[in-house]
Structure 1
């Protein structure tokens, strides 16, 4: 909440980087983060650390 301007474009990689900061902050406080909404791609990017550049196609 109040992390991003809804008018901005976000990639899954950017989401993962920002969400990870929030998750780490929550964990440091001894709480359990709950992730909801969005698509599987964004969750995979956060949980699995997907390297999108490695899967890029040329052309």
Structure 2
């Protein structure tokens, strides 16, 4: 699976970029704002099936 995360000063959106076209839609939660973004690979206890990030690219919009 391939994902794109769009972060603007007012919204965050998660979009799947393969053939499904799935998106979270723009989320305008103003509770937390700042210059940082974080990605987690979860808290899976079985390391053989733990997800991971590969080819991570950050591009300014």
Q: Common fold, TM-score beyond 0.5?
A: no
Name whichever structure is richer in helix by fraction.
1
- Higher RCO, 1 vs 2 (CA within 8 Å, ≥6 residues apart): 1
Name whichever structure is richer in strand by fraction.
2
**TM-score interval (norm. to shorter):** under 0.3
The two structures have a TM-score, normalised by structure 2, of 0.25
